Amino acid sequence: MQLSRDQLRAAYQRMCLIRNFEDSLHEEFSAGNIPGFVHLYAGEEASGVGVCMHLDDRDAIASTHRGHGHCIAKGCDPRAMMLEIFGKKDGLCGGKGGSMHIADLSKGMMGANGIVGGGPPLVCGAALTAKTLKTGGVAIAFVGDGASNQGTTFESYNLAKVWNLPAVFVVEDNRYAESTASAWSVGGNQVDRAKGFGMPAQEVDGHDFFAVWEAARQAIERARAGEGPSLLHVKLNRYYGHFEGDAITYKGEGEIEQVKTEKDALMLFKQRVTETKLLDSEELTVIEEEAKAAIADCLASAKAGALPTEADLMTDVYVDYKF
């Protein structure tokens, strides 16, 4: 299978949008403009985009607390996302969810999640819907290395397997859960764990968009074909702290810089497509500039956006019951 030039442009555009989105949030948080917990996805772009390039609106993903990248990869509107993160009324969730609960079900984005391990069972549900209603859809659970140790995750592996659900578990192993290394916290390894449940599984270099894309293609095709769940162990790194405000003293000296200079996902993508002459560097630069401008524009909208008001506090608790 090959990616078309348009697909490559679209992939690079989404990765650039994510990178700019996260970098600007990092700045805004440092400046004290963003309240609450903000977990950034910078450095992990190839994973979310590599997987979601295979998906359309029939398909569902469940994300994690580190959800902005998954949202953008799945097609959520960055402007509405930015408004949401700033707590504004026109945000994707009306300002009620914020960074940790950003969602757009119309795009098959089932939400970032404040509960580690909250997503995998939900994905079994989305996969069950697709299977029952025969939509042809698949469901993808993004799972951190930390979340891979939750009981809910293991239970979901088993349920997806025994019900033969069209699901894929993407374990994004960015080497740390908060300050704890996955090298310590994960007993056994992700691929063997999956095999223990009878699921096909493979390890993937998460800095390499093309590797993720290819591995995801196989897993998603298998699911669509009714052949059941599988798992990808995607190995990558995050550039910022666990959340904004984290001093990151647990990482090795120069650890992040080394990844940035040697394995940056955007850099590797660019090298590959220019070396193979699939895209030229001018058009990539245009994409980069456009992404930058687009996010700057989102940011301006978010800052200018109106706040929700008292009238919004009690709406949407139920569909039809007013307390």
Ligand X SMILES: Cc1ncc(C[n+]2csc(CCOP(=O)(O)OP(=O)(O)O)c2C)c(N)n1
Assess 240 for contact with ligand X (CB under 6 A).
no
Which of ligand X, other proteins, none binds 100 (CB below 5-8 Å, type-dependent)?
A: other proteins
Strand partners, 142: 170
Task: Quote the tokens at residue 160.
Answer: 């997806």
Residue among 4, 6, 106, 184 that touches other proteins (CB under 8 A)? 184
Assess 1 for contact with other proteins (CB under 8 A).
no
* Enclosing H/E stretch for 232: strand 230-235
Interaction with ligand X in 127-146: which residues (CB under 6 A)? 144-146
Assess 217 for contact with other proteins (CB under 8 A).
no
Which of other proteins, ligand X, none binds 174 (CB below 5-8 Å, type-dependent)?
A: ligand X
* The length of the chain, given as a count of residues: 323
What strand order describes the sheet that includes 139-144?
60-62, 139-144, 167-173, 230-235, 201-205
Q: Of 40-48, 158-166, 171-179, 229-237, which part binds other proteins (CB under 8 A)?
A: 171-179
Binding mask 91-120 for other proteins (x = CB under 8 A): x-x-xxxxxxx-----------xxxxx---
d(CA 22, CA 241): 12
Compare residues 76 and 112 and give the one whose CB is closer to ligand X. 112
Residue 157 burial class via C-beta count within 10 angstroms: exposed 0-12, middle 13-18, buried 19 and up: buried
Residues contacting 250, CB < 8 A, separation 6+: 176, 179, 180, 181
Binding mask 295-314 for other proteins (x = CB under 8 A): ------------xxxx-xxx
Q: Where are the alpha helices (DSSP H) in the chain?
A: 5-30, 45-52, 68-73, 78-85, 119-133, 151-162, 182-185, 190-196, 209-224, 255-263, 265-275, 281-304, 310-313
Assess 183 for contact with other proteins (CB under 8 A).
yes
Compare residues 163 and 250 and give the one whose CB is closer to ligand X. 250
Assess 169 for contact with ligand X (CB under 6 A).
no
Which residue sits closest to ligand X, CB atoms considered? 144
Size of the residue set binding ligand X (CB under 6 A): 16
Assess contact for 116 and 146: CB atoms under 8 A. yes
Phi and psi dihedrals of 57, rounded to 5?
Answer: -70, -10
Compare residues 38 and 82 and give the one whose CB is closer to ligand X. 38
Report the interface residues with ligand X, using CB under 6 A: 64-66, 114-117, 144-147, 174, 176-178, 242
Report the interface residues with other proteins, using CB under 8 A: 35-37, 87-89, 91, 93, 95-101, 113-117, 146-147, 149-152, 176-186, 248-253, 255, 307-310, 312-314, 317, 323
